[in-house]
């Protein structure tokens, strides 16, 4: 993309009411624009990042056997009356009347809709296990939306829902999601820790939140150090085999956020294994059995010919929230440092003297070569001061900067800068291109 | 995808209230499910098609220099008060109050939001031309939603907005969109005709609707036959050069839908050139000058240092509507016939005797080979009657069917059926795979 034909409105200053670093940087780098309290437009750079996060989530859901659907943003209130949640949900639910005075709502979540879809089509245990997910805009009318996309009102969520014949099968579905989530965070360049979460009235051990480590995190996290170092399972586990051991390796090690912290258990661990850090919650998975299937009559016929309520779980991750969380985890004083997997562009080409035949030619050559190699470069071809170009490129956090100035061109070299480390080197164009392509 | 792990709920009968063929087929093929009047969930197969249509639209917008953003579904009423449309819009606008009694609305379109974004960042003619588009869910509270996704209330629209310094530049932006739209429809396998549309109070010739030809179309279309046969300009025109000749070749030929029809002009054409057909409106582009920029103060500084209101145009295409329109244009008694560009899967592998070692092995081999070739096959590995498999596969309209039965396996052949023509042939697996991969 040529910057002269793009729309990347970077700002020198963030609005004073942006309190946290991700919010400030997203505004300054021109990723988002506030349209109303907690409601944002995604500008070109922000949208590219959002779509990449969404795609990573999608691929890992698909790999783990979940099937994508898309539920509408508006839902019928009557469905929520069936589950009993319409009256319980409170003021966070945005309630709407259409022109015929019919009660609608903007979905804050979709258990009722997906349960209704399930019960309309699925009648037999033979169609299970089933896991349906969607990536759709949700709305929760927070009293005090803040922190940008970290706590917005209109937000993009991936919500998956599993349907199983019994609790043992539900655990297998849960395990797939547990491990898929770890793979998502790893691909996004995040260190994520699954911590026990409150299972609510259903009880049991199938409820986890995922906390990513970031110095600016909102919660305190306490964990066994081995858990942090264990890493994600990767794509090649046997997703439809027995994953219990793979999950237990992780859930058997202590990990909790402040709300669920058990200081005695934590301190019983060897001191060298105790880790405390700040964390941001970026996902929640839990099993809730028949909570919706019972009142809504979502039953299947079992192998014995008898109808049983399906056992359900739900698995949520805030896709738009992740854009902010990644920045919280990865930035410096100059701006954002995107992991390559979600960077809006793979490399920036900076022309320090637009109109100089040598600079223009080297830049065009670099731009073409990177485009052909699938790197999706951003070419800063604007007639602007080098200092402004450096600042903007650092701010928006593109992993590589290929800097082309008249002196280098005369010497047959360009400068290559790696955004994450600040490391710079002068080298011939071919070598610079090779370094970028090889990552 | 293995059908045993997928969710493709095909129905024998469509609900009685589905009046048009695309609505009936979308329900029967398990593409969509009605959640409320004019509000649909997209089931896995439907969502895959929707995403493919969206991606074709996106690629052609990008090629023509438009830049993607994403505006929220909910908008502030105050912005619509600035343009004067809040009171004018009528009952089709879904008006909402949040918990703080602030007036919001579910965007039926986004001229106000995009104009507000533009005026916040863009100050100089040097940043023009600019064309910002988004693909986002919209809501119009139709009094009588019907025809499935062809006239839904919650619908997916691509809406682009161009900003230019003067009318001559606005015409260049208009021309880019005019030609990009033709490319979109061509890639979707549709015959599209641009017809003059009512320019409204602004007057002039920059307002066109695009009608695709389908026997079941809602409108009558009258056109010069050469226009239909001219086809799309293709990707390789000089998008930032002078496109006037390319556009005039088309706009100079007579084309109108019933509303704007001029029988005298039509009949003045040679009889052999007169074509009448049924059509479906699938896009509308128009220039509206300062309609929003003037009341909302969206100005840029011109080359002479004076501020001028920007000249705007808007360019809409109903992405979800297109899913229905494609079916209207391409189906037979057995079901849908998807063009390859938007087919939910590239090929279906039908195992006529699941559990038979020979059939299973040939199917697995075909499934792997097609997957590796990027064909994205659907493997019907369910234990079901051949007749049911044939009917479901015809219904959902996958372009190729690779049919594996025990007799063929014994003879070393499979059967290959092309959905569009019904043509079948027996041939060795390798040859069948080659035929599919080569399209």
Q: Which segments of chain A belong to CATH 3.40.50.800?
A: 347-438
Nearest to A99 among B39, B50, B143 (CB): B143
Could you please report the per-residue DSSP string of A284-316? Answer: EEEEEETTTHHHHT-EEE-TTS-EEEPEEEEEE
Closest chain A C-alpha to B389 CA, distance in angstroms: 16
* Confidence check: pLDDT of A215 > 90: no
pLDDT tier for residue A42 given thresholds of 50, 70 and 90 = very high
Nearest to A42 among B36, B70, B141 (CB): B70
User: Which pLDDT score, from 0 to 100, does residue A14 have?
Assistant: 81
Q: Angle B44-63/B319-329 helices, nearest 10 degrees? A: 110
Q: Which residue of A lies nearest to B36 if distances are taken between CA atoms?
A: A76
Provide, as residue numbers in chain A, all residues whose Cβ is less than 8 Å from the Cβ of B135.
Answer: none
Q: What distances in angstroms separate CA A284 from CA A165, A177, A263, A292, A422, one per listed residue? A: 22, 10, 23, 18, 35
CA distance B175 to B132: 15
Identify the H or E element spanning A361: helix A357-372
The single-letter DSSP state of residue A165 is: S
| Number of other residues whose CB lies within 10 A of the CB of residue A196 | 18
Residue A36, helix vs strand vs coil = strand
| CATH 1.10.3720.10 describes domain B347-438 | no
**Among residues B230, B228, B190, B181, which one has the least CA distance to residue B208?**
B181
**Among residues B321, B351, B323, which one has the least CA distance to residue B336?**
B323
Cβ distance B5 to A94 less than 8 Å, yes or no, reads no
Q: What distances in angstroms separate CA B289 from CA B115, B118, B163, B209, one per listed residue? A: 12, 15, 9, 18
CA distance B231 to B227: 8
Q: Which residue of A lies nearest to B40 if distances are taken between CA atoms?
A: A72
CA distance B127 to B301: 10
User: Which pLDDT score, from 0 to 100, does residue B408 have?
Assistant: 97
- Domain A3-336 sits in CATH at 3.30.930.10
CA distance B210 to B283: 5
Q: Which pairing describes strands B67-68 and B130-139: parallel, antiparallel, or unpaired?
A: parallel
ipTM for the complex shown: 0.97
Q: Which pairing describes strands A347-351 and A377-380: parallel, antiparallel, or unpaired?
A: parallel
Nearest to B35 among A9, A113, A139 (CB): A113
Phi, psi torsion values for A268, nearest 5 degrees? -75, -15
The single-letter DSSP state of residue A82 is: H
pLDDT in tens, A124-136: 999 999 999 999 9
**Among residues A17, A54, A10, which one has the least CA distance to residue A31?**
A10
Closest chain A C-alpha to B356 CA, distance in angstroms: 20
Residue A314 near residue A285 (C-beta atoms within 8 A):
yes
Cβ distance B42 to A98 less than 8 Å, yes or no, reads no
| Half-sphere CA count of A344, side-chain side, radius 13 A | 32
Cβ distance B74 to A47 less than 8 Å, yes or no, reads no
Closest chain B C-alpha to A76 CA, distance in angstroms: 7
Provide, as residue numbers in chain A, all residues whose Cβ is less than 8 Å from the Cβ of B132.
Answer: 7
User: Which pLDDT score, from 0 to 100, does residue A439 have?
Assistant: 85
Cβ-based burial of A199 (10 A; exposed 0-12, middle 13-18, buried ≥19): middle
Provide, as residue numbers in chain A, all residues whose Cβ is less than 8 Å from the Cβ of B139.
Answer: 74
User: Residue B76, Cα to own-chain centre: how many angstroms?
Assistant: 28
Q: Which residue of B lies nearest to A39 if distances are taken between CA atoms?
A: B72
**Among residues A181, A125, A149, which one has the least CA distance to residue A309?**
A125
Provide, as residue numbers in chain B, all residues whose Cβ is less than 8 Å from the Cβ of A37.
Answer: 102
Closest chain B C-alpha to A46 CA, distance in angstroms: 8
User: Which pLDDT score, from 0 to 100, does residue A12 have?
Assistant: 87
What does the H/E/C string look like for chain B? CEHHHCCCCCCCCCCCCCCCHHHHHHHHCCCEEEEECCEEEECHHHHHHHHHHHHHHHHHHHHCCCEECECCCEEEHHHHHHHCHHHHCHHHCEEEECCCCCEEEECCCCHHHHHHHHHHHCCEHHHCCEEEEEEEEEECCCCCCECHHHECCEEEEEEEEEEECCHHHHHHHHHHHHHHHHHHHHHCCCCEEEEECCCHHHCCCCEEEEEEECCCCCEEEEEEHHHHHHCCCCCCCCCCCCCHHHHHHHHCCCEEEHHHCCHHHHHCCCHHHEEEEEEEEEEEEEEEECCCHHHHCCEEECCCCCEEECEEEEEEEEHHHHHHHHHHHCEECCEECCCCCCCCCCEEEEECCCCCHHHHHHHHHHHHHHHHCCCCEEEECCCCCHHHHHHHHHHHCCCEEEEECHHHHHHCCEEEEECCCCCEEEECHHHHHHHHHCC
pLDDT tier for residue A99 given thresholds of 50, 70 and 90 = very high
Residue B216 near residue B278 (C-beta atoms within 8 A):
yes
Kindly give the confidence (pLDDT) of every residue in chain B, 439 residues in length, as a single tens digit, with 9 standing for 90 and above.
999 999 999 998 888 888 899 999 999 999 999 999 999 999 999 999 999 999 999 999 999 999 999 999 999 999 999 999 999 999 999 999 999 999 999 999 999 999 999 999 999 999 999 999 999 999 999 999 989 999 999 999 999 999 999 999 999 999 999 999 999 999 999 999 999 998 877 788 999 999 999 888 889 999 999 999 998 999 999 999 999 999 999 999 999 999 899 999 999 999 999 999 999 999 999 999 999 999 999 999 999 999 999 999 999 999 999 999 999 999 999 999 999 999 999 999 999 999 999 999 999 999 999 999 999 999 999 999 999 999 999 999 999 999 999 999 999 999 999 999 999 999 999 999 999 999 8
* Confidence check: pLDDT of A216 > 90: no
Cβ distance B35 to A94 less than 8 Å, yes or no, reads no
Task: Tell me how far apart the terminal alpha carbons of chain B are, to the nearest angstrom.
Answer: 20
CA distance B345 to B322: 18
* Confidence check: pLDDT of A202 > 80: no
| Half-sphere CA count of A122, side-chain side, radius 13 A | 32
Q: Which residue of A lies nearest to B50 if distances are taken between CA atoms?
A: A70
Cβ distance B71 to A104 less than 8 Å, yes or no, reads no
Q: Which segments of chain B belong to CATH 3.30.930.10?
A: 3-336
Residue B318 near residue B156 (C-beta atoms within 8 A):
yes
Paired residues of B26 in beta bridges: none
Lookup result for tokens 């030809």:
B213
CA distance A49 to A323: 7
Token output for B64: 């023509």
Provide, as residue numbers in chain B, all residues whose Cβ is less than 8 Å from the Cβ of A102.
Answer: 36-37
Q: Which residue of A lies nearest to B30 if distances are taken between CA atoms?
A: A121
Provide, as residue numbers in chain B, all residues whose Cβ is less than 8 Å from the Cβ of A30.
Answer: 121
pLDDT tier for residue A287 given thresholds of 50, 70 and 90 = very high
Q: What's the CA angle centered on B335, arms B332 and B337, to 5 degrees?
A: 75
Cβ distance B98 to A94 less than 8 Å, yes or no, reads yes
Q: What's the CA angle centered on A421, arms A420 and A426, to 5 degrees?
A: 110
Cα dihedral B160, B165, B166, B168, rounded to 10, equals -70
User: Which pLDDT score, from 0 to 100, does residue B16 have?
Assistant: 82
Task: Tell me how far apart the terminal alpha carbons of chain A are, to the nearest angstrom.
Answer: 20
User: Which pLDDT score, from 0 to 100, does residue B218 have?
Assistant: 86
Look up the pTM and report it: 0.97
Cβ distance A41 to B70 less than 8 Å, yes or no, reads yes
What does the H/E/C string look like for B255-271? EEEHHHCCHHHHHCCCH
CA distance A264 to A285: 26
Interacting residues of A47 by C-beta distance below 8 A, sequence separation 6+: B68, B69, B70
pLDDT tier for residue A243 given thresholds of 50, 70 and 90 = very high
Residue burial A294-303, b: 16+ Cβ < 10 Å; e: rest: ebbebbbeee
């Amino acid at each position: 993309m040529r910057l002269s034909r793009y729309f990347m409105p970077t700002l020198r200053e963030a609005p004073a009411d942006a309190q946290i670093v991700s919010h400030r940087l997203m505004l300054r780098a021109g990723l988002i624009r506030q349209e109303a309290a907690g409601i944002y437009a995604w500008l070109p750079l922000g949208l590219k990042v959002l779509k990449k996060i969404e795609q990573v989530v999608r691929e890992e859901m698909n790999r783990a056997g979940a099937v994508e659907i898309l539920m509408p943003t508006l839902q019928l209130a009557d469905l929520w009356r069936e589950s009993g949640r319409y009256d319980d949900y409170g003021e966070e639910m945005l309630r709407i009347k259409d022109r015929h005075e019919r009660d609608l709502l903007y979905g804050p979540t979709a258990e009722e809709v997906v349960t209704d879809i399930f019960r309309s089509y699925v009648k037999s245990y033979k169609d299970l296990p089933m896991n349906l997910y969607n990536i759709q805009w949700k709305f929760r009318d927070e009293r005090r939306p803040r922190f940008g996309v970290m706590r917005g009102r209109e937000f993009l969520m991936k919500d998956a829902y599993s349907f199983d014949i019994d609790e043992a099968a539900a655990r297998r579905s849960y395990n797939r999601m547990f491990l898929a989530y770890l793979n998502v965070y790893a691909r996004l360049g995040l260190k994520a820790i699954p911590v026990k979460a409150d299972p609510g009235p259903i009880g049991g051990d199938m409820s986890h939140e995922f906390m990513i480590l970031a110095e600016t995190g909102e919660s305190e996290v306490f964990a066994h150090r081995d858990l942090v170092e264990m890493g994600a399972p990767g794509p090649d586990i046997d997703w439809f085999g027995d994953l219990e051991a793979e999950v237990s390796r992780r859930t058997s090690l202590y990990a909790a956020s402040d709300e669920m912290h058990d200081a005695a258990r934590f301190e019983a661990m060897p001191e060298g294994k105790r880790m405390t850090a700040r964390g941001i919650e970026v996902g929640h998975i839990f099993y809730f059995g028949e909570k919706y299937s019972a009142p809504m009559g979502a039953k299947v016929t079992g192998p014995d010919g008898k109808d049983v309520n399906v056992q359900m779980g739900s698995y949520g991750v805030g896709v738009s929230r992740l854009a902010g969380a990644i920045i919280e985890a990865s930035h410096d004083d100059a701006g954002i440092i995107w992991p390559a997997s979600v960077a809006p562009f793979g490399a920036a080409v900076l022309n320090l003297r637009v109109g100089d035949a040598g600079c223009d030619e080297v830049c065009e050559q670099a731009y073409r070569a990177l485009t052909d190699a699938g790197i999706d470069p951003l070419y800063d071809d604007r007639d602007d001061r080098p200092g402004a170009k450096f600042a903007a490129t650092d701010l928006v956090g593109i992993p590589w900067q290929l800097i082309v100035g008249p002196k280098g061109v005369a010497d047959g070299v360009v400068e290559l800068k790696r955004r994450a480390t600040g490391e710079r080197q002068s080298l011939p164009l071919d070598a610079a291109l090779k370094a970028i392509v090889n990552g």
